[in-house]
Amino acid sequence: MMAPLLCASPRRRLPLPLVFFACVLYLSASADYHVFRIAPEFRAAGVRESGARIFIGEVTLNNNDKSLVFGPLLKLIGAYLIIVGASMLLAPTLLFRILGEANPAPLVLWRWLGVMAAAYGFGLGLAALQPGRNWRLLLVGFLSMLFVALLTLAAISRGGIGSTLGWTIIIINLIPLLPMGIVLTQLASAPAGADAPAPLPEDMKLDQYKTQEGRSLESLSHEAPVLLVLLRHLGCTFCRETLADIAARRQEIESAGARLVFVHMGEDAKAAYLFERYRLEDIPRISDPEAGLYRALGLPRASLLQVYGPGMWKYVIQSVLLDGHGMGQIVGDRFQMPGAFLIHRGSVVGGFRHQRISDHPDYLSIVRCASPAEEMPY
């Protein structure tokens, strides 16, 4: 990425290859580590949905993989930035000779800008593997190039830089902005991540999910219908709101014949305090840090707008301030959507998938309507 030139002369040159390597390493590390992780859930099938039932065994995929659409475009932008950066680094006077402008005063600064452009282009190529997970890197680059273009325009208006050189810098920065803006807009309205919902491995059964007391979800579902409540991350105010809702209706739910079981994405030792706060510490709970059970039950990851959109803030204010649930440290996937399902004898017979993270399901209706005798479509 390019910026207006400064006029100071450096006393000595820094080792540019070292600077380039450091920038590439930093940007690569900034890309979400999930780019390099292949979750075991992808290795085989896990869930079959037929009518009102969901069975462990086969998979129904919801194709939200935006990498197929945006990946090639982002790689093209990344290649463009690498070419621009490499030309600034290896032939720093080329552009000025073409435009008939004087060479930049600190040549090393021009090369630094080339290093940054090439390093970001490399990072963008990595981000293209899973654009939804790496939207932060895309947003940083988009804003950086936008601000550079605006600053250069201001420098032209003040006479601090020649108009020919200035407009060339602006055009170079504006070329990637339109496609990147389209990608970011689409990602903001699409489910975050390309792995939702994902299947469970063939050999993974419900008896592999165990509560804090060592009881399996499979065995619990054979003793009584289980109302399985899959929570948002533990720091989310709506996770706490869900616990408050369950606590208020616990007696009715249990009187209807269902056994409550919670699923969370944190370590059980760190989650215990939150259940104690809502007097639900005796309820069985399952720790699922990889969110495999969430994906197996068809719960996607939320879009940016579902989590941070303007329509959510009134619910956040209501829950955090007015209802006093507060917020905490993020423990788990902040984009994972919650849900509730009734499981009986190893099969899911009904449930509720949240459309908004602030939804309030009628848990008692799930228990009463979604029974083995009368399955509830959802």
CA distance linking residue 303 with residue 180, whole number of Å: 17
Kindly state the tokens that stand for 43: 């290795």
Read off the pTM: 0.53
pLDDT at 258: 93
Domains along the chain with CATH numbers:
16-37+62-188 (no CATH), 206-369 (3.40.30.10)
Q: Mark 300-322 as b/e (b = at least 16 C-beta within 10 Å).
A: bbbbbebbeeeebeebbeebbee
- The DSSP code sequence of 80-103 is HHHHHHHHHHH-TTHHHHHHTPPP
* DSSP, res 284: -
Q: List pLDDT tens digits, range 89-141.
A: 888 888 777 877 776 657 777 788 888 888 888 888 888 877 767 777 888 88
State how far Cα 158 lies from the chain centre: 42
CA distance linking residue 359 with residue 175, whole number of Å: 41
Q: List pLDDT tens digits, range 156-201.
A: 888 877 788 788 888 888 888 888 888 877 776 655 433 333 333 4
